[in-house]
Amino acid sequence: MKLLNGSILLFSACILCTCSLRNDNSSSEEKKINAFLSRMTLEEKIGQMNQLTGMGLSNDMTGLVRAGKIGSILNELDVNTINELQRIAVEESRMGIPLIFGRDIIHGFKTIFPIPLGQAASWNPQVAENGARIAALEASSTGIRWTFAPMIDVTRDPRWGRVAESCGEDPYLVSVMGVAMIKGFQGDDLSSPSSLAACAKHFAAYGATESGKDYNTTWVPESQLRDVFLPPFKAAVEAQAATFMCSFNDINGIPSAANEYLNKNILRDEWHYDGMLVSDWGAIDQLIPHGIAADLKEAALKAAHAGIDMDMMGYAYTNHLEALVQSGAVSEKAIDEAVRNILRLKFRMGLFDNPYTTALDTAPYYSEDALQKAHHAAIESVVLLKNKNNVLPLLDKIKTVAVVGPLSDAPADQLGTWCFDAEPQHSITPLAAIQHEYAQQVKVIAKKGLTYSRDKNPQGIAQAVAAAQQADVVLFFAGEEAVLSGEARSRASIHLPGAQTDLLKALKKTGKPVVLIVMAGRPLTIQEEVAEADAVLYAFHGGTMAGPALADLIFGKAVPSGKLPITFPRLVGQVPIYYAHKNTGRPASNIDLIDDIPVGAAQTSIGFTSYHLDAGDSPLFPFGFGLSYTTFEYSDLQLSSTTINKNENLSVACTVKNTGSREGAEVVQLYTGDLVASLARPVKELKGFTKIILQPGESKEVRFTITPEQLSFWNHDNQLVLESGDFRVWIGESSAKGLEANFSVK
């Protein structure tokens, strides 16, 4: 290790410069809001706080709009309907306040990008920003101006179906990707007709859901809440996310829709957020089954006290707020505060000046730019997990490929969860891409073997094996159907469904090299399958252009550069398994696995450390892991100092060299660990990363800055502290491998 001399900081791990969002009450916007509030009846104010799902131009809906009893509509898609409803709101309601139309545009509207977990595997925020921008351009053409994204729940549980929609297990990576999505959705100017208001969701700790079961309870100590689950939301405030959505779960017994501490003390008072907070779908009425409200009226009361501005599909506010205000249980000031947040959003979106959407003759979908960016995103989202004997990329000597597996030609499934508006006929599948783009190079024999991922019928296996026998290489596209991940799609067993493992084994028996390509909404437990396969590409659900992206990677037109955004367990029983774990008092050592233990061994013969007898202590693949077609060497770790003061930055650098024979991109990762502190701290935590492209033989110096804030943590007394003592820093290719050095903070 060498010391850096007065190095300049090239890369700052700080996500954004912070800016206060507290509105200035004297601004002209606030004056206009005050003017509205002074003229609105209580009923009209409560109307603004009501969001319902679209009912077209039904009498029920037009009546509500005309009477000013609704502030927002979700899931209305037809531009003419949207314009007509808007016309009624603006021209026929007494206050003339425009509506705002929302929809879940999670990873694309028509042109679908990889699922967010896949985008996170790119470790390239530009990928996420591009995806969100394209989604905004496409969706806003229908009149939708608000998306319920990004989902920035940190999660360490691959059983949870919504892991697909998340950016994985790490607060820093989730923050960076979430901020990039907010930028993409909102663009440079929120009031532009092509901008969508982003919605940071689900506030908060939804990803900690017990046993990975959706909507389940969470128990999160304050220090963990602050260190792990809240940072992406704080980053979203700093990135000026226009709206927030509360989560369904309770945290330590208090559901988010009734959580004053979270929504008021933290979000408003500490973070000075002045955007709008919407409930999740029916989350206010769900306070009743949660067991903290006896009826809908009490639910409305608790949500209003907790600062939920808008009730999504709950009817709690419309049915009960008026009486609650009249009885004095809820103050009109609280109502005004909520309506103020809603009107501010509508002003910021430019809806008062420009409420309508121009209906276009040709919808701006699937533009060349959109498809090219989706293609690129899908390439960057794929992680190469194994490549025995460099079977990939396929060389010219490969003349015939067998294209097998239920995901090889599944246009809807490759899109993944949360794409209500997608059109699978626009998906290009791996089979189609190979047949189309690489037909000159190879002969393709296609036999799916199984018709869908859960298919257990072995009848097609013989045909797939016959195809494999005629081929030089087998490309086996396995995984999960789209419907197996997403909201309420949790799984207790996360292996490849159906008879896919049997099919893989049968293919392997042919003696032909087998490339396993997994398209799934979550990490699957594929230990056995990885052992069988010669090469493994983990592609998540890659979206519209998943096929061309995979074909390019398989045939070597593109080089894999993805890294895992979440730890892959060997067995589901290891969950939760994540790299930023605590060391424990007895970290794993001298691991004896279950089959190594002699029969009749004494209880005391095999040691007493922290691991599973049947899985050991390591994951199948660690966070941050991913191979390339080239190789990288890390050397020359340098620190600006081995001792810093509490108010000083530390600069760290190393050299990364491409030691292979192909151009490749590498995600260089920075981790730190606090070795001795007043609370047991994670063994290491990601603090920065950058993706660099290197030509064969080329070296680059990569520098990072570590700020005092990044070395701080929330202590037992709920204070953010930086404690003196010894720290370790790593720069490397994954959470499990890197150059390391120690430093201390005085």
What are the residues binding ligand BGC (CB under 6 A)?
104, 148, 201, 280-281, 487
* Nearest distance, CB of residue 288 and ligand BGC, angstroms: 17
Q: How far apart are CA 680 and CA 584, in angstroms?
A: 8
Measured from the CB atom, the residue of 93 and 259 that comes closer to ligand BGC is: 259
* Nearest distance, CB of residue 148 and ligand BGC, angstroms: 3
Measured from the CB atom, the residue of 71 and 562 that comes closer to ligand BGC is: 71
Reduced to 3 states (helix: H, G, I; strand: E, B; else coil), residue 234 is helix
| Whether residue 280 lies in the annotated active site | yes
Q: How far apart are CA 517 and CA 547, in angstroms?
A: 11
**Do residues 180 and 119 lie in contact, with contact meaning Cβ atoms separated by under 8 Å?**
no
* Nearest distance, CB of residue 251 and ligand BGC, angstroms: 16
Which of 709, 671, 598, 637 shows the shortest CA–CA distance to 231?
709
Q: Specify burial of residue 698 (Cβ count, 10 A radius: 0-12, 13-18, 19+).
A: middle
Q: How far apart are CA 518 and CA 525, in angstroms?
A: 11
* Nearest distance, CB of residue 194 and ligand BGC, angstroms: 21
Measured from the CB atom, the residue of 104 and 238 that comes closer to ligand BGC is: 104
**Do residues 683 and 622 lie in contact, with contact meaning Cβ atoms separated by under 8 Å?**
no
Reduced to 3 states (helix: H, G, I; strand: E, B; else coil), residue 22 is coil
Measured from the CB atom, the residue of 103 and 234 that comes closer to ligand BGC is: 103
DSSP assignment string, 291-355: TS-SSHHHHHHHHHHTT--BEES--HHHHHHHHHHHTTSS-HHHHHHHHHHHHHHHHHTTTTT--
**How is the chain split among helix, strand and coil, in percent rounded to 5?**
35, 20, 45
Taking each helix axis from N to C end, the angle separating 28-39 and 332-348, rounded to the nearest 10 degrees, works out to 130
Measured from the CB atom, the residue of 152 and 378 that comes closer to ligand BGC is: 152
The strand pairing partners of 651, in sequence order, are 705
Measured from the CB atom, the residue of 180 and 199 that comes closer to ligand BGC is: 199
Q: How far apart are CA 469 and CA 462, in angstroms?
A: 10
**Do residues 485 and 416 lie in contact, with contact meaning Cβ atoms separated by under 8 Å?**
yes
Beta-carbon contacts of 319 under 8 Å, excluding residues fewer than 6 positions away, are: 296, 297, 300
Structure tokens, 603: 């209880």
* Nearest distance, CB of residue 76 and ligand BGC, angstroms: 13
Measured from the CB atom, the residue of 281 and 476 that comes closer to ligand BGC is: 281
Beta-carbon contacts of 327 under 8 Å, excluding residues fewer than 6 positions away, are: none
* Nearest distance, CB of residue 247 and ligand BGC, angstroms: 8
What's the full length of the chain, in residues? 746
* Nearest distance, CB of residue 342 and ligand BGC, angstroms: 17
* Nearest distance, CB of residue 385 and ligand BGC, angstroms: 30
Query: In degrees rounded to 5, what are phi and psi of residue 732?
Result: -165, -170
* Nearest distance, CB of residue 97 and ligand BGC, angstroms: 22
Strands 650-658, 643-644: pairing kind: unpaired
Q: Say how many CA atoms lie within 13 Å of 389 toward its Cβ.
A: 9
Q: How far apart are CA 87 and CA 355, in angstroms?
A: 8
Beta-carbon contacts of 628 under 8 Å, excluding residues fewer than 6 positions away, are: 384, 559, 560, 561, 660, 662, 664, 665, 666
* Nearest distance, CB of residue 229 and ligand BGC, angstroms: 16
Measured from the CB atom, the residue of 232 and 619 that comes closer to ligand BGC is: 232
Measured from the CB atom, the residue of 151 and 514 that comes closer to ligand BGC is: 151
Q: How far apart are CA 477 and CA 446, in angstroms?
A: 11
Exactly one of 280, 309, 311, 534 is catalytic; which is it?
280
Spatial strand order of the sheet with 473-479 comes to 383-387, 535-538, 514-519, 473-479, 400-404, 443-447
Measured from the CB atom, the residue of 312 and 478 that comes closer to ligand BGC is: 312
Query: In degrees rounded to 5, what are phi and psi of residue 326?
Result: -60, -35
Strands 685-694, 664-674: pairing kind: antiparallel
**Residues acting as catalytic residues:** 280
